[in-house]
Structure 1
């Protein structure tokens, strides 16, 4: 059968397609920009007749219609691999939970450990002439999902960029059970607002550590974006990209002529990523672009892959950290903010790279809702805070007051180094607490 004929045979309406979902099912709802839209709206109509339907997904860029439906809190459960602001708010409903896993392990976990997936539904780009749908900028773990799913429904959206790869970047029409068409806008993820003076100060300290030919991984947020902007304005050249998340900053650096990938030992000349989200500028850039490589997260985030690339530079944010060097990048106490993601993968991988460095960056302080200045460097992490990066793994930490290398330092050296880049208002208090915790040498300067 010709691919177009097979397409037409499997084409159906969203309302008809979602009838396959039954009470008690596990439903995979794709990932980030691939989260379904028309199928979500159709499934919302069925919520009153369903019970105990369990969803998996993550990084929602818009509220889900089915989770806004009457009785959704009692009938549906959302399980997130990485939380956006939308998902953080959903936690208060009592039916939204975070799945703790190193992101690089997700494809293997799906293939070997998770319950069978009853239904998978997600957005894809239009079918090409060979019969393939691209996962768009969401290769991540979607091939593994499709292998384990009993029923696969794709929502074909002409606005979804077609992302090229090499493996596990799409699915063939022969593997799909139902096809639904929609024309919804692709979700936009901003960069967290313009860079602040603190962001720019941190960025300057990091950029001076980046050599020509380095390979970059950037997290999301104001500081990584500020680093990207500074790199775009710098004299650096022949940079490469191998990252978990492709963000707008990489487009800016590329357009400034700084990225060629010519020094990469693997995937030479290509910008490799597991997923991407940003503004329309990003989606236009990665669409059908052979210089960009969409790949599964088990490849992009594997420390063994990262280790093969010399001068690898990893740059990520933190919520706070303590004087032992434990880094929390995903919670405020017991309140889940985001997720572990691939931060630890890149912290480990960058250090295995010849000449590689990982940077954890944050502002030294923040102002709370009551208007009080609070330190991000704490004596110990707050009760319930998650340790994203264990202390033996942390390399560089950067605030606007400086950068320190923690690798291999004894506990008193570590405390002294971190206090030196804390906000001046809190340094004496931190020294006092370090002394009480036997982390402060009597000979240290106060």
Structure 2
């Protein structure tokens, strides 16, 4: 079959492509760099849209300026481009675990339209979903329409369910521009202390899951002297390239996907995207597999590293809200916290600063405040790390947990926290001497 002719027949302008979307259908975009900017820009120009819904996760482009009657915009994980819009009522949020997103979207959507940035078509008629297969890949087979934005800057990646064939595609546009990128964060003294502490917990041959944020990624700064590390993660960050170049990653001691770094999406700089292009050492997984508890449980010596906003004396972690207002979402933190506990020699690490606002607020608290979300259960937390050390919670009583967490709180808050712990009955009351 002549794939080139079929490609040319489906080639449209962005406005022509979005005009094919019917009212009351649900539009789904990939996570982060998989979002199609030209199609997004054209979408509000489709005047006949009505009762449509648009699903996005960690968007890298602004919320559409369009009425909810035409398109209701729903976030799967709030980011910098839609956080304020959620609080202003322009965007809604669908709670989820990352592993559940494909099944959730199949349950709550109908007549699904997929729009995504992909790599150029290969000789067999396939486009690669590149850096963002995640949940999109699971929705290809029964999508009503698939509209692709071909970009020669999108790396061609290998993996499971990360391809789309020309025969499945409704329309194509071309828009060759650099992918959105995130510069590596500047590390503070607190980052370095936390990073060094966690790096000291990691052994040669361990397999790592690295979460979002500067703190988990700071760990990778101090792993260059490790050897035979494996990577089994959600998001692949730039620092992985450094570890490959340092000879720290081999994936040879992984009990699953041996020899391969596995992830479900990636976000970083052009350096990372170039590293990923046609790299057979990397293997993309759909998020329902990358974050599946049964799959994670098969990975021996897994170390899961994620950040949180605050933690209480019981070990409950709020990783989603700040002062009772939504900031992000659950992501895959709970997936990996549970999975690491099931894995042989698995360890789940949650890290956070001991304070906020120039050391005026303790992030270790007696109880999570009203409006805070419990992202990770007290029963699923192994280790908590701050710049003041490590609190091991697994197998510990309430009193032991409380004492361990107070010991890694900022020193200026420890006396106050101890007082609150005694009021709660988590520590024994002292006799008052008159």
TM bin, normalised by shorter chain, reads over 0.9
Secondary structure in structure 2 of the residue aligned to 1:426: helix
1:310 aligns with 2:309: no
CA change 1:115–1:73 in 2 (3 A) is: closer
Deviations 1:122-177 (A, max 9, x none): 11111111111111111111122223321111111111111111x21111111111
1:91 aligns with 2:83: no
Aligned with 1:226 (options 218, 226, 250): 218
1:389 aligns with 2:376: yes
Secondary structure in structure 2 of the residue aligned to 1:94: coil
Deviations 1:233-257 (A, max 9, x none): x3x1011100011011111111111
Query: Alignment RMSD, CA only?
Result: 1.7
Match of 1:237 in 2: 227
Q: Write the distance in 1 (CA, Å) between the matches of 2:296 and 2:424.
A: 37
Match of 2:282 in 1: 292
Match of 1:248 in 2: 238
Q: Write the distance in 1 (CA, Å) between the matches of 2:411 and 2:230.
A: 37
Match of 2:389 in 1: 402
| Partners of 2:30 and 2:134 within 8 A in 1 | no
Match of 2:36 in 1: 36
TM-score by length of 2: 0.95
Match of 1:174 in 2: 167
CA change 1:310–1:46 in 2 (3 A) is: same
1:424 aligns with 2:411: yes
Q: Write the distance in 2 (CA, Å) between the matches of 1:63 and 1:168.
A: 28
Q: Write the distance in 2 (CA, Å) between the matches of 1:358 and 1:386.
A: 19
CA change 1:434–1:93 in 2 (3 A) is: same
| Partners of 1:132 and 1:170 within 8 A in 2 | yes
| Partners of 2:86 and 2:93 within 8 A in 1 | no
Q: Write the distance in 2 (CA, Å) between the matches of 1:85 and 1:374.
A: 23
Aligned with 2:129 (options 135, 138, 157): 135
| Partners of 2:25 and 2:113 within 8 A in 1 | yes
- State the Cα distance separating 1:334 from its structure 2 match: 3.2
- State the Cα distance separating 1:396 from its structure 2 match: 0.3
Q: Write the distance in 1 (CA, Å) between the matches of 2:71 and 2:30.
A: 16
1:46 aligns with 2:38: no
Match of 2:156 in 1: 162
| Partners of 1:334 and 1:384 within 8 A in 2 | yes
Q: Write the distance in 2 (CA, Å) between the matches of 1:443 and 1:129.
A: 76
Match of 1:433 in 2: 420
Q: How many corresponding residue pairs?
A: 431
Aligned with 2:198 (options 175, 200, 206): 206
Q: Write the distance in 2 (CA, Å) between the matches of 1:74 and 1:116.
A: 17
Q: Write the distance in 1 (CA, Å) between the matches of 2:338 and 2:161.
A: 24
Secondary structure in structure 2 of the residue aligned to 1:29: strand
1:61 aligns with 2:54: no
- State the Cα distance separating 1:221 from its structure 2 match: 1.6
| Partners of 1:28 and 1:117 within 8 A in 2 | no
Aligned with 1:78 (options 69, 73, 78): 73
TM-score by length of 1: 0.93
Q: Write the distance in 2 (CA, Å) between the matches of 1:438 and 1:97.
A: 39
Secondary structure in structure 1 of the residue aligned to 2:379: coil
| Partners of 1:57 and 1:80 within 8 A in 2 | yes
Secondary structure in structure 2 of the residue aligned to 1:230: coil
- State the Cα distance separating 1:374 from its structure 2 match: 0.5
1:197 aligns with 2:189: yes
- State the Cα distance separating 1:210 from its structure 2 match: 0.9
| Partners of 1:321 and 1:327 within 8 A in 2 | yes
Match of 1:102 in 2: 97
- State the Cα distance separating 1:372 from its structure 2 match: 6.6
Q: Write the distance in 1 (CA, Å) between the matches of 2:361 and 2:111.
A: 44
| Partners of 1:73 and 1:94 within 8 A in 2 | no
Structure 2 runs not aligned, ≥5 long = none
Match of 2:339 in 1: 349
Structure 1 runs not aligned, ≥5 long = none
- State the Cα distance separating 1:325 from its structure 2 match: 0.9
Match of 2:178 in 1: 185
Q: Write the distance in 1 (CA, Å) between the matches of 2:378 and 2:164.
A: 40
